[in-house]
Structure 1
Amino acid sequence: ASLQEKVATGKELVRPSDSPDLAVNISRIKASIDELDAYKNSLNAVNDRLTVEESYIGGAKDVLIKLKQLTLQGANGTMFGRDREVIAIEVDELISEMKNLANGTDAKGNFLFGGSRVLTMPYAEDAEGVIRYQGDNFRSNIDYTSYRQSSIGRNGLDVFKPVLSGGSTEPVAGVYEVKLGGTLEPLDTYTLMLGQTAFHYEVRPGDNTEKVLDRLAHQINEASLDGSVSGIEASVQDDTLKITALDGVARQIAVGTRNASDPTDDLFSSVEALEGSSSVVASLSGTMERGDAVSLKIGTRAITYQIKGDEGGLSPTNPAAVIAEVKKVTESSGLFTGAAGLSIDPEDPSKLLIEPLTSNLGRVEFQAVERTNINDQSATVELIEEPRPALPERVEFFESLQEISKVLRSGEQDLIQRKLDHLDQMLDIVTMSMADIGAEMGSIQDEISINEDLKLQLEATLSGQEDLDYASAITELQAKMMSLEAAQSSFAKISQLSVFDYIR
């Protein structure tokens, strides 16, 4: 652009093409200023709404104060029924006024305390005449800046909250089930943790899953009786330990196992020829434990017997009972039929006599194999029914208010005192709402002030980028005008000379 255009417009940049970089900077600054103006308009609108809310809630507080004064009058035991009726009628009128305040609207006719349902009356009577909330718990958000957002405004659940009735709900019992899996072995230990209280049981010979769980249940019930734990009941059914939290309080329950029984390494076997006979004697000695094994091999054929630990009906069992089972199982298998005959030594039942029935019986081997620990135990806890503790009961704001006139008419002093407690809670609720509004309005004013300061800075920056330096521009323009005038004067003088004047 020409210097004259700059002077005429007062702008350093007349057309973007004159300086694209400068044009971009100016555009960004103007956009930021416009954004701040939009935030200011939004903040002012919110401030106006909060002012209206404050007015309605302040009116609600005044009504509650009057209701408390009337209820205190009605608490006077010397009042007659007619006097209480007069007070109750005035209470009904104040409740109607409170309902109108709760259904307050803004300048556009939108309901203030209905949440997102701005066109639906928040509070209305149901079929039984009880005033119920028809709105939701929505709160709108406002952008203070491009990076800061806050919820504003209140709904009916914020301003007219339910109050504590003075009673409590019934607890819902929680049910936990404990199950065991795997192999039970003597000396294994099962530990059940109920919170910080531990219950232990060490498996004994002959125990089964139900027995272990029953002993744990017995310990828990004993602890409940002596006060070590409270609100707990335990029982066993179908190999399942059921722990019931009667008070509805959630419990941390854990169960674990520890395999503490090491095998006894004194199990021995031997094979020897019977003197004066072709028979062979296989014998066992030592401790017979569940999981130990005995292997009999004749020639290329072999059979292995796993010791159960209760052979012969004994617990623990002994070598003679195991030898008897080995003979029984081997004969039942038919593996050595026709090759060898088996019998128990009548003088020592811990010895098995093996008599060859063929000339090529082959080598006889009898081997005892010590067990290793069986580590397949498992224990699980499952929550079957979630507990819910007793909770304070609440009564809706307007439902409690409507009950005031009823109890005043009845003259029941304990109920009147309870309503006075409800009114104190209501006053606390609306007072806190007003305090929140005051804090929000103060925050909005602070944000408006910050935005104004930022806008002034941006406008100063924009002026430095966009406005023309008049003093410099005019000086430059005057210099150019003088140069132009001098050139024009010289041209005029030259144009008046003839060729002869020029030669001369």
Structure 2
Amino acid sequence: MRITNSMMTNNVLLNINRNRETLSLYETQMATGKKIQKPSDNPIVAIRALKFRNNVNEIKQYQTNAEDAISWAGVTEQSVTNVTEILKRVRDLSVQATSDVLNVENRKNVVTEIEQLMEQFVNEGNTTYAGRHVFSGYKTNMPLVFTETSGDTYELTQSFSASDVEKTQRVVNSEIIDVNRIRLGYTGISNPDATSLIPPFTAVNTMNAADPGAMTPVLGEVNFIQDTGELIFHPDDVSSIPDPLDFTYEKTGFEKGDLMPDHYFDGQNLTTGSVFTVSNEKMLYQISYSQQMSINTMGYDVIGVDLVRDVEELINATKSIGDDDTLTTALQEDLLGDVFNKLIGKMDGHIGKLLNTRAEIGGKINRLELTINRLSEDNLNFTDLLSKNEDVDYSEVIMKMAAQEMVYNASLSASAKIIQPTLLDFIR
């Protein structure tokens, strides 16, 4: 086989270009620190790199979610703690007010402090995190309590069971009597829907607390007390109360600090036409690959209707006592100590419920902290795998580059010896 100068030249150039290409590859790896520059360089490495990068990005997003969730829970926990401390102070004041040494004026002073505490208490319901109300479920743009006076009319439906019937005492016709009642969500209500009570009862009478017979309904009838927000039953009719009982009524006008019905009842805002239902609206945070956590606490688990009504009744009972020396006033004074005493037991129940809520939030925070720690470890592991998959070993590349540089120089030297001067070189 005849080897021509042209063939030798082409082979020399081909070999030199191959060596230069390999040398360029090592130089690029040195400059970028990556094994490949495009997927076609090594499809397997490229696919694994995409998977690892996706895993790292997911973990970072989960970390962000978990950190946001723990901040939300921290704000919620602090608010619940504040509410608990307020209720403890209300309980302490109630203990003081049960003392027979205190007269009505002293107890009114106690109630004045309780009113201030309750104003701060309901304000805790409007706690926000990053501009979102934490106790409003999905309605994060809507406060839990009214921030200003509202003249809207609501139609509300409350559900009761037989256990919601409460026995209390009232002063009627200069004597203390027992009253069986179901307490509704608000005072100053109207337009009862009697269909849920008739039958078994024959009539639902709309009255005010001061009306004759308001606290002593006729057998087989129910008295709907508008100003105090109560259903009054004859003692012999208590066993006839439907169980469950869904009772509907209307409420027009709300003061600053009143609970917003949208978060507590099923009903409709007759002024705006909006319809709402009460539900456990869980705000779920994705904190891991297949793990979600409900991070919010509903307002009715912190500031309940019964809690607000308990304190409201105490305040009204204290303020309603006059300065005269009538027998009715004396009996009201006697009952006031019992009202404070009952509030102590009710406060214990409300505080116990809040402590359970705090424990639940604390458990969530502990779980989130453990999750964040695990995600940090996962992030390190996948980042390490990503580095091993696509990052070069500099010591290895330097060694290969030095060896390739020697090969390249050797090829240049060999080429100079192979391609000898020709007659044309001398003619030039």
Contact 1:43 1:144 in 2 (8 A): yes
Contact 1:71 1:408 in 2 (8 A): no
Aligned twin of 2:310:
400
Instruction: Give deviations 1:256-275, integer Å, cap 9, x for gaps.
Output: xxxxxxxxxxxxxxxxxxxx
Aligned twin of 1:145:
288
Cα distance in 2 for partners of 1:107, 1:148 equals 24
Cα distance in 2 for partners of 1:121, 1:483 equals 76
Judging by fraction of residues, say which structure has more helix: 2
Q: 1:40 aligns with which of 63, 69, 72?
A: 63
What is the Cα deviation at residue 493 of structure 1?
A: 4.5
Aligned counterparts, 1:187-266, within 5 A: none
Aligned twin of 1:305:
none
Q: Decide whether aligned partners of structure 1 residues 482 and 95 sit closer, same or farther in structure 2, where only a CA change above 3 A counts.
A: same
Contact 2:98 2:338 in 1 (8 A): no
What is the Cα deviation at residue 398 of structure 1?
A: 1.0
What is the Cα deviation at residue 438 of structure 1?
A: 1.1
> Structure 1 counterpart of 2:299, which letter?
G
| Structure 1 range deviating more: 150-159 or 470-479 | 470-479
> Structure 2 counterpart of 1:141, which letter?
L
Contact 1:144 1:150 in 2 (8 A): yes
Contact 1:64 1:427 in 2 (8 A): yes
Q: Within the alignment, does 1:28 sit opposite 2:46 as a pair?
A: no
Cα distance in 2 for partners of 1:148, 1:62 equals 34
Aligned twin of 2:400:
476
Instruction: Give deviations 1:63-92, integer Å, cap 9, x for gaps.
Output: 111111111111112211111111111111
Cα distance in 2 for partners of 1:31, 1:490 equals 49
Aligned counterparts, 1:246-325, within 5 A: none
Cα distance in 2 for partners of 1:491, 1:112 equals 79
What is the Cα deviation at residue 13 of structure 1?
A: 1.5
Aligned twin of 1:87:
110
Q: Decide whether aligned partners of structure 1 residues 101 and 70 sit closer, same or farther in structure 2, where only a CA change above 3 A counts.
A: same
Cα distance in 2 for partners of 1:49, 1:472 equals 49
Q: 2:297 aligns with which of 129, 154, 161?
A: 154
Aligned twin of 1:447:
371
Q: Which sections of structure 2, spanning at least 5 residues, go unmatched?
A: 1-21, 150-250, 264-277, 320-331, 424-428
Aligned counterparts, 1:416-431, within 5 A: 416-431=340-355
What is the Cα deviation at residue 160 of structure 1?
A: 2.5
> Structure 2 counterpart of 1:449, which letter?
N
Aligned counterparts, 1:28-107, within 5 A: 28-107=51-130
Contact 2:34 2:390 in 1 (8 A): yes
Say what the alpha-carbon RMSD is for the aligned residues.
2.1
Contact 1:75 1:417 in 2 (8 A): yes
| Structure 1 range deviating more: 490-499 or 421-430 | 490-499
Cα distance in 2 for partners of 1:438, 1:479 equals 62
Contact 2:125 2:143 in 1 (8 A): no
Q: Which sections of structure 1, spanning at least 5 residues, go unmatched?
A: 163-395, 500-504
Give the paired residue count.
265
What is the Cα deviation at residue 14 of structure 1?
A: 1.3
What is the Cα deviation at residue 141 of structure 1?
A: 0.7
> Structure 1 counterpart of 2:344, which letter?
L
> Structure 1 counterpart of 2:341, which letter?
Q
What is the Cα deviation at residue 495 of structure 1?
A: 5.3
Q: Decide whether aligned partners of structure 1 residues 128 and 457 sit closer, same or farther in structure 2, where only a CA change above 3 A counts.
A: closer
Contact 1:131 1:399 in 2 (8 A): no
Judging by fraction of residues, say which structure has more strand: 1
What is the Cα deviation at residue 492 of structure 1?
A: 3.2
What is the Cα deviation at residue 20 of structure 1?
A: 1.2
Secondary structure of 2:102's counterpart equals coil
Secondary structure of 1:132's counterpart equals coil
Q: With CA pairs under 8 Å and 6+ residues apart, which has the higher RCO, 1 or 2?
A: 2
Secondary structure of 2:120's counterpart equals helix
Cα distance in 1 for partners of 2:254, 2:394 equals 80
Q: Decide whether aligned partners of structure 1 residues 26 and 458 sit closer, same or farther in structure 2, where only a CA change above 3 A counts.
A: same
Q: Decide whether aligned partners of structure 1 residues 40 and 33 sit closer, same or farther in structure 2, where only a CA change above 3 A counts.
A: same
> Structure 2 counterpart of 1:418, which letter?
K
Aligned twin of 2:259:
132
What is the Cα deviation at residue 496 of structure 1?
A: 6.3
Q: Within the alignment, does 1:117 sit opposite 2:139 as a pair?
A: yes
What is the Cα deviation at residue 467 of structure 1?
A: 0.7
Contact 2:72 2:295 in 1 (8 A): no
Cα distance in 1 for partners of 2:412, 2:139 equals 79
Instruction: Give deviations 1:257-302, integer Å, cap 9, x for gaps.
Output: xxxxxxxxxxxxxxxxxxxxxxxxxxxxxxxxxxxxxxxxxxxxxx
Secondary structure of 2:288's counterpart equals coil
> Structure 2 counterpart of 1:77, which letter?
D
Q: Decide whether aligned partners of structure 1 residues 407 and 74 sit closer, same or farther in structure 2, where only a CA change above 3 A counts.
A: farther
Contact 1:160 1:430 in 2 (8 A): no
What is the Cα deviation at residue 128 of structure 1?
A: 6.9
Cα distance in 2 for partners of 1:141, 1:107 equals 17
Aligned twin of 1:5:
28
Higher radius of gyration, 1 or 2: 1
- What TM-score do you get using the length of structure 2 for normalisation? 0.58
Secondary structure of 1:144's counterpart equals strand
Contact 1:113 1:122 in 2 (8 A): yes
Cα distance in 2 for partners of 1:20, 1:76 equals 84
Contact 2:133 2:141 in 1 (8 A): yes
Q: Decide whether aligned partners of structure 1 residues 49 and 128 sit closer, same or farther in structure 2, where only a CA change above 3 A counts.
A: closer
Contact 2:93 2:110 in 1 (8 A): yes
What is the Cα deviation at residue 423 of structure 1?
A: 0.7
What is the Cα deviation at residue 448 of structure 1?
A: 0.5
